[in-house]
């Protein structure tokens, strides 16, 4: 997704898990929703990557 959005080509290297790495990673906003009433602004990976990429392009030195 990042390659498509950025228009950049770069190598992607997959490597073996390191000691202590979890076997599976799952992201869920359920606890934040139940505890804080928080709702994510974006739900699709493409939108999340695109908005992050655009922000970083417009803020090259960070905040």
Interatomic CA distance for residues 3 and 24, integer angstroms: 24
- Look up the pTM and report it: 0.63
Q: CB of 1 within 8 A of CB of 45?
A: yes
The sign of the dihedral angle between the CA atoms of 7, 8, 9, 12 is negative
Could you list the pLDDT tens digit for every one of the 63 residues in the chain?
899 999 999 999 999 999 999 999 988 999 999 999 999 999 899 999 999 999 999 999 988
Interatomic CA distance for residues 35 and 50, integer angstroms: 28
């Amino acid at each position: 997704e990042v390659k498509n959005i950025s228009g950049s080509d770069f190598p992607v290297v997959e490597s073996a898990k390191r000691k202590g790495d979890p076997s599976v990673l799952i992201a869920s906003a359920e606890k934040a929703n139940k505890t804080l009433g928080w709702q994510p602004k974006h739900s699709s990976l493409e939108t999340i990557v695109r908005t992050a990429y655009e922000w970083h392009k417009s803020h090259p030195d960070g905040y």
